[in-house]
Structure 1
Amino acid sequence: MLSLTQLIGDRALPAASGTWLDVHEPATARVHALCPDGDAADVASAVEAARSACSGWSSLPGSERARWMNRLADALESRIDEFARAESRDAGKPLALARDIEIPRAVSNLRFFAAAAMQFASESHQGQAGLNYTLRQPLGVVGCISPWNLPLYLFTWKIAPALAAGNCVVAKPSEVTPVTAWMLGELAREIGFPAGVLNIVHGLGPKVGQAIVDHPGVKAVSFTGSTAVGQRIAAACASSLKKVSLELGGKNPTIVFADAPRPGLFDTLMRSAFQNSGQICLCGSRMLIERRIYDEVRDELVARARQLRVGDPDDPATQQGPLVSRAHCDKVRGCIATARDEGAVVLCGGEALQPPGRCENGWFMAPTIIEGLGPYTRTNTEEIFGPVLSLQAFDDEEEALTLANAASYGLSASVWTSDLRRAHRVAERLEAGIVWINTWLERDLRTPFGGVKQSGLGREGGLEAMRFFTEAKNVCINLG
């Protein structure tokens, strides 16, 4: 049984309240760790530690901040297997997914923004009104609140640009999957990362997350999570005019035209629907298929979904693990029941699974594919965030766009076609923050990432993240 701690300054501490939260292993439903049940007192201590460290960290040359971040990346990279095992156990994802993709991506996040610390540049303007140059100055103490589905991957995606830009961080990982964030904090202590620059406070959103949002010493909040929580954070930040970045839910369309290139098509379509048990905000949960190939695509997807190996995340043959919690599993089952009530035809799946052996009590769901519902049903407009794929047919490009834009979300979309002109036309008209053409989840970390409509505010990634975590100050010099 692991007993996790907060990282406040350079100290590993329990919650000030002395209370703990159970952390369950999704594959077995057993408690495998105890997480500090933090509150506003812990946040206040973390903000004070961060304030004390701000002047020293922000005054370091970018190259020196980069050196510290690369040291942390080196330490993490040397323990990829250890972190992958912990991530797999904590979140229920297949070990190979954590080891080969998600923990390496966390390393890449740290390295990318370490490089950005040395490359981030300000602007200058001359010839219209004097000589102007723009300073990009760190904000001070910032809050980073990350979700449970890609725990270390998205935790580092937030803290890395904040640190690179010269800020000190108070970070809250999800209490559902807190282990690897705690391990990263322990690594930071081990390598002597400057005290107070990175602080990690564990606990529930209404207590720790809300305290970070409300604290007057926190100058900006970066949040990834549900739209409902994001709306509350936006309202709270508005009253104090605090900067906020929100990456929220998605109901992402995958548009498959009849001329979609066939090599690798079905492998990627399956991955886009069911990777990490569909618990990725970028998963294509609505597949729109041109009618003349609808039957072909539907039948192939159903056949492949029935063959997906669902089971123990430790088993190398496992392709889909459990859902992250009992509550989330119950929610997904309720969404499938709603789909049935709306008249959906369940083509495969639709039920909970009980793999034999140690995972017989885990929170597993069969990969589920449904059809027969219109674009404005709850099933096709509300985020399910599980291994559930809804199919719809379309006749032409205009109808495909109408169906794709019908949801109130606008995070991502993917388009499959061999017609380059069509690809450009459709991408321009899709209401989404990122559009993939003949691919999915292919990411260049320099590009802006975020959503429109109910999928959020602001952008992360590359210069967009560095700009969010800094304040622009223009200096104008009269040359007359």
Structure 2
Amino acid sequence: MENIFNYIDGQLVKPVSGNYLDNYNPAEGKVYSLIPDSDKKDVENAIDVAKRAFPDWSGLSITERGNILNKVADFIDRDHEKLALAESIDNGKPLKLAKSVDIPRASANMRFYATAIQHFASEAHIPDDQFINYTTRKPVGVAGCISPWNLPLYLFTWKIAPALAAGNTVVAKPSEITPMTAFLFSKLCIEAGMPKGVLNIIHGLGSKTGQAIIEHPDTPLISFTGGTETGKRIAATAAPMFKKLSLELGGKNPNIIFADCDFDQALSTSVMSSFANQGQICLCGSRIFVERTIYDRFVKEFVDKVENLTVGDPLEETTKMGAVVSEPHMEKVLSYIDLAKKEGGKVEIGGNQIKLEGRCAEGYFIAPTVITGLNHACRTNQEEIFGPVVTIMPFDSEEEVVSYANSTAYGLAATIWTENLKKAHRVADKVKSGIIWVNCWLVRDLRTPFGGMKQSGVGREGGWEALRFFTEPKNICINTK
């Protein structure tokens, strides 16, 4: 039984209380490690050392800070296999997915911001021959970064890399459900020579450690990825304190498939965008709208493809879908399938928990589930399920499908399938989502802004947007005469 430790002031330390939480392997349904049950005192200790470290860290040149981030990335690449295995065990996702997506992206996040900060420029304005205006951007202080459980190291580094590159120090809280790779990451930071106090990682419950980070007066920046309801509570605490907030929240993403699409490409990519990572990606397309003339064909062939998805041991090479992240989450997803049936939905395939044999006999596995026959306005189609469940509905016109797509409280991402370029531009312009993919899905250029509209979030991450968030602009006006 491995103990996870907090990372404070450059050292691995036990929680002040001495208390620990169970950490489950979701594929086995068993406790395999212990997490610090940290509290306000641990957070205060971390913020204190982060404040002390801020002047020296922000005083380093951007090249010096970038060199350290790149060194951490080197160690991520070196330990690729170890980190991928840890991510698979901790999260339940297929090892193959962790190897190909999660860990490479964590390294890429560190490298991108290590160099992006060197190209981050401010503005200068010379309106006449007397006054020169220029803008500087300076790091703010201690950033509080709270990351989710679905893409643990991937999204953890997505927050801390720009914060550190910009010159802030960080107190970060990974999800208590998937803490292992953040713990391993802290060891890499020590090995890479990260200065003491610059990055501090506190493990524990959101209600105790997360809330303590948010409400502390010395964390002027809060970056959070997670559920919309949690985001509302964070905003309620942080907004009256006038903190800068970046909230990347929930989604109920539409996948719009027109009859003039490349059918085979739309079909295969839609299966992937529905069930990748067991549907536990905020960008998954959980509502599929298909033009009526191809609806019956699409449903049949979609179900045929889903039938061939292998749900199994995440460590097996042939596994396409692993376990969902926890038993409570499994019960939540199954409850929505029951709700869909009560709302008149027809389960075309799946709809049940899967019991495997061997070491995964007690794991949290759900069959990929496809539901038809539901109205676009029902709860199943309005509320975020965040699991391997999709609905498929027909539509007859652009206006109709746009109204369906925009009918939820969310607006994170959308996918549009059509070979008609004018239609693609027209529909993309009308759909209220922060990210629109046309004839593709999950293509991520790290230079582009990431984030949603409506209840899918506040602000944007990625590229210059993240560096702007983690700095404060200051205009300086010089009278030259």
Q: Which of the five TM-score ranges fits, normalised by the shorter chain? A: over 0.9
Q: Does the 8 Å CA contact 1:65/1:117 hold for their aligned counterparts?
A: no
**TM-score scaled by length of structure 2:** 0.99
What amino acid is the match of 2:87? E
Does structure 2 conserve the Cα–Cα contact (< 8 Å) formed by 1:5 and 1:15?
A: yes
- What is the distance in 2 between the residues matched to 1:131 and 1:428? 39
Indicate conservation of the 8 Å contact 2:257/2:266, yes or no.
no
Aligned partners of 1:332 and 1:386 also within 8 Å: yes
Instruction: State the 1:265 CA deviation.
Output: 2.5
How far the C-alpha of 1:264 sits from its partner, in A, is 2.8
Task: Measure how far apart 1:192 and its partner are.
Answer: 1.7
1:173-322 counterparts in 2 under 5 A? 173-322=174-323
2:61 corresponds to 1:66: no
Instruction: Report the RMSD for the aligned CA atoms in angstroms.
Output: 0.8
DSSP 3-state at the match of 1:112: helix
Per-residue deviation at 1:418? Answer: 0.1
1:16 matches 2:13: no
Fraction of identical pairs, as percent: 53
Question: SS at the partner of 1:285?
Answer: strand
1:2 alignment partner in structure 2? 2
What secondary structure, in the 3-state scheme, does the structure 1 residue paired with 2:318 have? coil
TM-score (norm 1): 0.99
Cα displacement (A) at 1:225: 0.3
Work out whether residues 9 and 199 of structure 1, in 8 Å CA contact, stay in contact via their aligned partners in 2.
Answer: yes
By how many angstroms is 1:263 displaced?
4.6
Residues 111-140 of structure 1 show CA distances to partners (whole Å, capped at 9, x for unaligned) of 000011211111111115821110100011
The match for 1:386 is: 387
Q: Which amino acid aligns with 1:255?
A: I
Partner residue, 1:56: 56
Question: Residues 227-286 of structure 1, C-alpha deviation per residue, up to 9 Å, x if partnerless?
Answer: 000001011111110111000000000000001113533221111000000000000000
Partners of 2:81 and 2:123 in 1: CA distance? 42
Give 1:85's aligned residue: 85
Higher mean C-alpha deviation, range 246-255 or range 353-362: 353-362
Q: Partners of 1:283 and 1:334 in 2: how far apart?
A: 19
Matching residue of 2:426: 425
Distance 1:206 1:352 in 2: 30
Kept after mapping to 2: 8 A contact 1:135/1:473: yes
Conserved in 1, the CA contact under 8 Å of 2:68 and 2:193?
A: no
2:354 aligns with 353
Q: Deviations over 1:316-353 (max 9, x none)?
A: 00000011000000000001111111110111100000
Match of 2:26? 26
For 2:479 and 2:450, locate their aligned partners in 1 and report how far apart those are by CA, in whole Å.
Answer: 38
Match of 2:100 in 1: 100
- 2:399 is paired with a residue whose SS is helix
User: Contact (CA 8 Å) 1:80, 1:99: kept in 2 or not?
Assistant: yes
Q: Please give the alpha-carbon distance, in whole angstroms, between the structure 1 residues aligned to 2:322 and 2:63.
A: 41
Give the Cα separation in 2 of the matches to 1:210 and 1:103: 28
1:15 partner amino acid: P
- The AA in structure 1 aligned to 2:167 is G
SS of residue matched to 2:53: helix
The CA deviation at 1:220 is 0.6
The whole-number CA distance in structure 1 between the counterparts of 2:134 and 2:323 is 53
> Residue 415 of structure 1 corresponds to which residue in structure 2?
416
User: What amino acid is the match of 2:206?
Assistant: G
Question: Structure 1 CA distance, aligned partners of 2:263 and 2:280?
Answer: 26
In the alignment, the residues of structure 1 paired with residue 188 and residue 29 of structure 2 have an alpha-carbon distance, to the nearest angstrom, of 28
User: Helix, strand or coil: the match of 1:104?
Assistant: helix
Amino acid at match of 1:8: I
SS class of match (1:343):
coil
Distance in 2, Cα, partners of 1:366 & 1:464? 38
* Aligned-partner SS, 1:264: helix
Letter in 2 for 1:462: G
Deviation at 1:479, TM superposition (A): 3.0
3-state SS, counterpart of residue 392 of structure 2: strand
Aligned to 2:404: 403
What is the deviation of 1:189?
1.0
CA distance in 1, matches of 2:191, 2:61: 23
Q: Which letter maps to 1:435? A: I
Query: SS where residue 443 of structure 2 aligns?
Result: coil
CA–CA separation in structure 2 for the residues paired with 1:88 and 1:267: 24
Question: Secondary structure of 1:464's match?
Answer: helix
**In structure 1, what is the Cα distance between the partners aligned to 2:392 and 2:289?**
6
Deviation at 1:299, TM superposition (A): 0.5
Q: Is contact 1:19–1:36 with CA below 8 Å preserved after alignment?
A: yes
State the alpha-carbon separation in 1 of the partners of residues 160 and 349 from structure 2.
40
Give unmatched runs, 5+ long, in structure 1. none
- For 1:42, the equivalent position in structure 2 comes to 42
What is the identity, as a one-letter code, of the residue corresponding to 2:79?
A: R
How many angstroms apart in 2 are the aligned matches of 1:78 and 1:286?
Answer: 39
Contact 1:352 1:364 in 2 (8 A): yes
Matched, 1:461 2:459: no
Q: Distance in 2 between matches of 1:421 and 1:403?
A: 20
Cα distance in 2 for partners of 1:258, 1:100 equals: 32
User: Equivalents in 1 of 2:268, 2:443: separation in Å?
Assistant: 14
Write the deviation string for residues 296-331 of structure 1: whole angstroms up to 9, x where unpaired: 111111111111100100110000001100000000
Quote the residue 2:435 is aligned against. 434
Q: Distance in 1 between matches of 2:353 and 2:408?
A: 27
Distance in 2, matches of 1:156 and 1:174, equals: 13
Q: Which residue of 2 aligns with 1:124?
A: 124
Alpha-carbon distance between aligned partners in 2 of 1:114 and 1:277, rounded to the nearest angstrom: 32
Figure out how many residues of one structure are paired with residues of the other and give that number. Answer: 480
Unaligned ranges ≥5, structure 2: none
Decide whether the 8 Å contact of 2:257 with 2:418 is kept in 1: yes
Q: Distance in 2 between matches of 1:112 and 1:21?
A: 34
**Whole-Å separation in 2 of the counterparts to 1:76 and 1:19:** 30
The 5 A counterparts of 1:369-380 are: 369-380=370-381
- AA partner of residue 323 (structure 2): P
What amino acid is the match of 1:391? Answer: I
Cα distance, 1:356 vs structure 2: 1.4
**Secondary structure at 2:263 match in 1:** coil
Give me the whole-angstrom Cα distance separating, in 1, the residues matched to 2:455 and 2:50.
32
Alpha-carbon distance in 2 for matches of 1:421, 1:63 = 45
Q: CA deviation at 1:48?
A: 0.7
- CA distance in 2 between partners of 1:144 and 1:261 (Å): 41
Separation (CA, whole Å) in 2 of partners of 1:40 and 1:157: 25
Whichever residue aligns with residue 191 of structure 2, its letter is E
